[in-house]
Amino acid sequence: MARQFQFLNTPEGEVVEIAVRGRQITTRPMINFGTGYTREERHALGLNGVLPPAVTPIETQEKVAYSQYQKQPDNLSRYTFLMSLQDRNEVLFYRVLAEHLDEMLPIIYTPTIGQAIQEFSSWFNVPRGAFCSIDDIDNLDEALRSSNQGPDDIDLIVVTDSEGILGIGDQGVGGIRIAVGKLSVYTAAAGIHPLRVLPVVLDVGTDNLSLLHDPTYLGARHARVRGERYDEFVAAFVESATRLYPKAMLHWEDFGASNAHRILETYRDQHCTFNDDIQGTAAVVAAAVLSAVRANGERLSDQRVIIHGAGTAGVGIADLLREEMVREGTDPAEAYRKFWGMGSRGLIHTGGKMRPFQEPYARPAEELRDWQVAVPGEYRLLDVVQNVRPTILIGTSAQPGSFTEQVVREMAAHTERPIILPLSNPTSLAEANPTDLLEWTDGRARIATGSPFPKVEYNGVTHTIAQANNALVFPGLGLGVIACRATRINDEMIAAAARVVAENTDASKPGSGLLPSMDTVRAVSAMVAVAVVEAAEKTGVATVHLANPIQDVFQLMWNPVYPKVKAVVNEFTPKPKNPN
């Protein structure tokens, strides 16, 4: 099939065949290398006169772009600058990102992207991804084909319905930016080729009244569709996506609590599908917990765990930690009893209101009869801490400051090295500040957070605050799935990813973080991918055997460098003009 341009892997390295000419090249981000084109390439591609005469290597272009980035006045301006660069010269964008990933990850993804999503309709510019509307379900194929990619060309689809975006809730059609941002991380962290991915938003309306009353809003202008019609739309999308792109992994992102678990359970045994909010969050948090428990010289099975915010993410964390306890030899039924889940009404217990996915963690009502509580019949966080004496406290509640001094001091009074993870983000929603946690525990707390926090000095020790960033897990997971063409993503693969991340840090050193630094994420992603490949082969879901997984994974990772250019002629090549 004739193409305007095509990237090819050859024994000599990556080659791009380009059929378009002149200014057409400068409007296509993946082949617009700007002044990076050599004089020979300019002559072959009709770029003489289109570009200034100087030839600038990508290393110099990166330094110039980074200097421009540094001059931006605030984080949203930095985000806008990077997105403009991606829309102009995508290879250079990824080169800049790769050189400064630790610094720029909070810009292209959480937390800065949240503000960009909220303002999506106000400054919509270059469209990226596929917009699939529930009001146009008959044309799903057309929407998904808009990328002009063939059935073998897409390895990864990130899809959102935008209901549960980054602690800011329902953002309607603007959620496409979360899918775009997620895929940027896949590429920067794990080298998944940017042309082999597809961001998708499922526009089912919005319950955000501010958006519905905004005359500039670009999505479906009606309340969010739910129930049978919603399920039929999701099913139609899955059928269309898996038929058009049969090799693609489906990544579900930021679906609401009422749908996320149900959708994952519906499709996980039918297709290669993954929910980062459930499984990715669980893996990186499990890695932090495993790292902390190992540093304490203890077993995971001996811990008592409170999950403050036992929703989609919280229960996903509990599920993976419970499975790890079972792998240690704990009886499956006993492992459930190691967890106390907190919902919006307090402790989840039998006889109370709960969602189906929370039911396995409901505490028996008779267990609570002898508890001492502040208000009879109510079981709030402090009550649970006082009665349970937890060793691990995990926050996924989006309730800022809920890990109060009284709660933390009570916990620290009964455990030598309390493991405390305030994971809600952005920073404004964190359950506690690491500085306070160290103060209230006399420097004994082992901490990981959901948002980035600076290092903290306490009693002469500099404490690195690990960020439980899913980017330590999902890029490598996706890379591993692609490498072995796994047909499913199972619990063993998720657990393998978590263990690898935990093994890549030593939290026993004073002040050390519980997780690897984000500036090592590309190496960590490769290691995660190898572990995922091995788990996939062991569990029988790999369809491609890798004789040398380390080398094969390494070779699969795309690097942001300008490829060798080959000018080709096909139906897209402009015909020479007749001088007469």
Please name every residue paired with 131 in a beta bridge, in sequence order, or none if there are none: 201
Give pLDDT, residue 121. Answer: 84
pLDDT of residue 450: 92
Give the pLDDT score at 332: 95
For residue 192, the model assigns a pLDDT of 98
pLDDT at 580 over 80: no
Of the chain, the percentage scoring pLDDT greater than 90 comes to: 90
What DSSP designation does 363 have? B
Please tell me the distance from the alpha carbon of residue 121 to that of residue 216, in angstroms, as a whole number: 6
- Local structure of residue 575 (DSSP, 8 states): P
Report how far apart, in Å, the C-alpha atoms of 398 and of each of 373, 380, 424 are.
24, 16, 5
Tokens of 524: 């960590």
Give the pLDDT score at 119.
Answer: 85
Q: How far apart are CA 434 and CA 432, in angstroms?
A: 6
Identify the band that residue 441 occupies on the pLDDT scale cut at 50, 70 and 90: very high
**Predicted local distance difference test score (pLDDT) of residue 143:** 97
Would the pLDDT of 579 be above 60? no
Answer whether 443's CB lies under 8 Å from 437's CB: no
The predicted-structure confidence for 132-173, as pLDDT tens digits, reads as follows 999 999 999 999 999 889 999 999 999 999 999 876 899 999
Inter-residue contact 323 to 492 (CB < 8 Å): no
Instruction: Give the pLDDT confidence of 357-374 residue by residue, as tens digits.
Output: 999 999 999 999 999 999
Residue 450, both tokens: 């959901």
**In the prediction, which pLDDT does 312 show?**
86
pLDDT at residue 576 in the model: 75
The residue that leads in pLDDT, 519 or 279, is: 279
Q: Is the CB of residue 146 less than 8 Å from the CB of residue 85?
A: no
- Confirm whether pTM is higher than 0.75: yes
Distance CA 53, CA 132 (A): 43
Annotated catalytic residue 379: no
Given the residues 37, 109, 186, 230, select the one marked as catalytic.
109
Query: Over 70: is that where the pLDDT of 1 sits?
Result: no
Q: Is 182 a catalytic residue?
A: yes
Q: Can you read off the two tokens belonging to residue 266?
A: 């519906």
Query: How far from 569 is each of 3, 37, 572, CA to CA, in Å?
Result: 10, 19, 8
**What DSSP state is assigned to residue 51?**
B
Provide mean pLDDT across the span 192-218. 97
Reported as a single tens digit per residue, the pLDDT across 233-285 is 999 999 999 999 999 999 999 999 889 999 999 999 999 999 999 999 999 99
* Domains, the chain, with CATH or none: 1-77+564-580 (1.20.1370), 109-271 (3.40.50.10380), 279-468 (3.40.50.720), 472-556 (no CATH)
pLDDT band at 206 (very low <50, low <70, confident <90, very high): very high
Query: Percent of the chain scored above 70 by pLDDT?
Result: 99
Is 83 in contact with 73 (CB distance < 8 Å)? no
Token pair of 395 as six digits = 């926050």
As a whole number, mean pLDDT of residues 489-517 equals: 95
What is the mean pLDDT of the segment spanning 115-124?
Answer: 83
Greatest Cα pair distance, the chain, in angstroms, is: 99
Q: Kindly write down the DSSP assignment for every residue of 164-217, as one continuous string.
A: SBTTTB--GGGGHHHHHHHHHHHHHHH---GGGEEEEEEE-----HHHHT-TT-
- Give the three-state DSSP class for 435: helix
Q: Which residues contact 468 (CB under 8 A, 6 or more apart)?
A: 281, 284, 285, 288, 421, 423, 448, 449, 450, 515
Amino acid at 119: E
Q: From CA 393, how far away is CA 568, in angstroms rounded?
A: 60
> CB-based burial of residue 260 (10 Å sphere; 0-12 exposed, 13-18 middle, 19+ buried)?
buried
| List 79, 182, 217, 338, catalytic entry | 182
